[in-house]
Structure 1
Amino acid sequence: MTFYTYQYLKGGQTNWTMIRIIVVVVLALAFLFFLFMYSRHRWNHKYKDLSIILATLLLLAAAIQYSDYTNLRTASLQSGQLTTVIDKSAAKLKVNPEQISINDTSRNNDMIIKTPKGYYTLVFNSSGSEFLLQRADLYHPDITVIGE
């Protein structure tokens, strides 16, 4: 079973955002350069071909970047909800939120949290606004904690 720490959830799960943005910018600059070279040397078709290839790559990279952005935004909202749940759980259990780990990165019913006081199951009400902490005993847990 994999648990995720409070720091991992607050820090986000991706480090590649800046690298992807740099790739899109480099592709855009290369496209503009080859487009400029084609406009100066119309008789040389290699610049036209390179411009078309780079325009295709640029559109593909921009589409991937947009898709990743929407996924990151969704994950960020879910992580925000989970950190709120961890904060409320820590207050109820009177422990530091940094000592709590949770077994999922998206909120659902019957999640398990790992605390210094033991394992607890989170059971949410139908609207998801409140939850119940119920002590849980795990038999032979194979635990991996990500974010320590």
Structure 2
Amino acid sequence: MTFYSYDYLKGGQTNWGIAKIAVISLLALAFLVFLVKYSRNKWDIKYKDLSIILGTLLLLAVAIQYSDFTNLRTASVQSGQLTVVIEKSAKKLGVKPETIAINDTSRNNDMLIKTPKGYYSLVFNGSGSEFLLVRANVYQPDITVKGK
């Protein structure tokens, strides 16, 4: 079973943003270079073809980046909700939030938290605004914690 630490949820799960922006920037620069070369040499078709290919790749890369950005924003909102749950759980149990790990990155009713005091199940109310901590017995736990 995989648990995610408080620091992992607060810090975000991805570091690929800068690399993706660099690739898009390089594609845009190459596209502009070939477009300028084609406009100077109207009879040289290879620059037109390369411009079309790079323009298509650039549109594809921007579409992928937008999709990833939307997914990252959703994951960020969910991680923010989970960090609040961890902070409230830590306050109720009297431990530091950094010592708690949770077994999912999106909030649902079948969640477990791992604390120094043991394992607890989270049961949310209908609106999801409050939750109940119920002590849980985990049989032969095979636990890995990401973020420590």
TM normalised by structure 2 equals 0.99
Aligned to 2:37: 37
SS in 2 for 1:122: strand
Q: CA deviation at 1:110?
A: 2.2
Question: Cα RMSD (Å) of the superposition?
Answer: 0.4
Aligned to 1:7: 7
Task: Give aligned-pair identity as a percent.
Answer: 75
Number of corresponding residues: 148
Q: Counterparts of 2:13 and 2:69 in 1: how far apart (Å)?
A: 12
SS in 2 for 1:15: coil
SS in 2 for 1:21: helix
Q: Counterparts of 1:15 and 1:51 in 2: how far apart (Å)?
A: 30
SS in 1 for 2:63: helix
Deviations 1:105-148 (A, max 9, x none): 00000200000000000000000000000000001111111111
Aligned to 1:102: 102
Matches within 5 A, 1:41-80: 41-80=41-80
Aligned to 1:142: 142
Is 2:134 the partner of 1:114?
no
**Please, which runs of 5 or more residues in structure 2 have no aligned partner?**
none
- Over 2 Å off, 4+ runs: none
Q: Counterparts of 1:71 and 1:138 in 2: how far apart (Å)?
A: 32
Q: Counterparts of 1:42 and 1:8 in 2: how far apart (Å)?
A: 54
TM normalised by structure 1 equals 0.99
SS in 2 for 1:114: strand
Deviations 1:6-50 (A, max 9, x none): 000000010101100110011001101100000000111110010
Aligned to 2:18: 18
Q: Counterparts of 2:78 and 2:110 in 1: how far apart (Å)?
A: 16
Q: Counterparts of 1:122 and 1:21 in 2: how far apart (Å)?
A: 39
